[in-house]
């Protein structure tokens, strides 16, 4: 993403919003259910608390609230949206899609609506789809959402996963054409050979998230700096051009390891995992409201990695 010169960006970002699960769950709260301590959790993950949904909340309600905030932020009505794209791996049901339900809830009835499932990389994939739709003229205004309710696929007694994940959503309103900010380039990739290291069943089902933390850490710490360096090189940019890097908030140790490889100061990295936990496809757009006002001409690099 960049605060770009007129005409450079595929779609300009005109509104941002986020929503978080209604319950704040600290490490001390988790310690009542599973064998952890606050010190252990912070040292292993960097997380002190995370947000869990209440009984009256789910992926759709969080995605809807984040979307309403984004629309309010830019002062646009829901019926001005041509397309809703939601990145999620935790839709409460197989159909209808989360995007379809959000479209109805915000008054964008009749708009196109699709879900994109790529787990922690989901928002980056969905952003590339949104950019393509805007560039091709299929849509003039897109509501782009990342929303996850990871508590529906986590075993609360598995300390290797229950300490990591939280529930939340972030939303962005994009308009066709260049402007003050927008997506400029996308780098996509996958490695299906690593599939055995992160697996989960459907929300509410019996197959909860299982992951090989050591292998996931090694993969992410290697791939994250590679992605960032490739984006810089192919766009002929230096660190002087970049104001922030927003990494997927998977684990603070992964982010810090990547920052060391990139020789990137911590104040250039957006980090909020301490209070939100790992919200998968929602973690990047949840960060957007904190960095919306950027220096003119500066870039923001976002990097999603993990199960997707």
Q: Note if 120 is an active site residue.
A: yes
Which contacts of 24-33 are long-range, i.e. CB under 8 A and separated by 24 or more positions? 24/49, 24/50, 24/51, 25/49, 25/50, 25/51, 25/52, 25/166, 27/163, 30/162, 30/163, 33/156, 33/157, 33/162
CA distance 14 to 142: 10
**Collapsing DSSP states into helix, strand and coil, what is residue 176?**
strand
Crossing angle of helices 98-105/59-74, nearest 10°? Answer: 50
Choosing from 100, 197, 248, 251, the catalytic residue is: 248
Catalytic position from the list 86, 120, 124, 251:
120
Catalytic member of 59, 86, 251, 278:
278
Residue 86 annotated as catalytic: no
SS3 assignment for 92-115: CCCCCCHHHHHHHHCCCCCCEEEE
- Does 197 qualify as catalytic in the annotation? no
Question: What amino acid positions are annotated as catalytic residues?
Answer: 120, 248, 278
């Amino acid at each position: 993403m960049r605060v770009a010169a007129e005409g450079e960006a595929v779609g300009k970002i005109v509104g941002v919003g986020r929503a978080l699960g209604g319950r704040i769950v600290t490490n001390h709260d988790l310690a009542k259910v599973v064998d952890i301590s606050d010190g252990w959790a912070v040292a292993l993950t960097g997380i002190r608390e995370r947000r869990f949904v209440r009984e009256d909340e789910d992926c759709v309600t969080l995605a809807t609230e984040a979307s309403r905030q984004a629309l309010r932020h830019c002062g646009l009505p829901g019926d001005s949206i041509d397309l809703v794209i939601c990145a999620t791996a935790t839709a409460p049901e197989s159909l209808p899609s989360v995007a379809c339900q959000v479209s109805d809830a915000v008054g964008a009835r009749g708009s196109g609506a699709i879900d994109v499932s790529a787990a922690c990389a989901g928002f980056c994939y969905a952003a590339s789809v949104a950019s393509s739709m805007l560039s091709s003229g299929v849509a003039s205004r897109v509501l782009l959402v990342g929303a996850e309710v990871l508590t529906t696929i986590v075993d609360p007694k598995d300390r290797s996963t229950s300490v990591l994940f939280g529930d939340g959503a972030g939303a962005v309103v994009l308009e066709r054409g260049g402007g003050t900010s927008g997506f400029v380039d996308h780098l996509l990739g996958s490695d299906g050979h690593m599939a055995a290291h992160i697996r989960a069943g459907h929300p509410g089902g019996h197959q909860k998230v299982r992951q090989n933390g050591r292998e996931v850490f090694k993969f992410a710490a290697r791939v994250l700096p590679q992605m960032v360096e490739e984006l810089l090189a192919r766009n002929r940019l230096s660190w002087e051009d970049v104001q922030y890097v927003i990494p997927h908030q998977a684990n603070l140790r992964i982010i810090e390891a990547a920052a060391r490889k990139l020789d990137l100061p911590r104040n250039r990295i957006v980090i909020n995992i301490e209070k939100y936990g790992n919200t998968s496809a929602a973690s990047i757009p949840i960060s957007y409201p904190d960095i919306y006002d950027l220096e003119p001409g500066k870039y923001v690099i976002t990097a999603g990695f993990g199960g997707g």
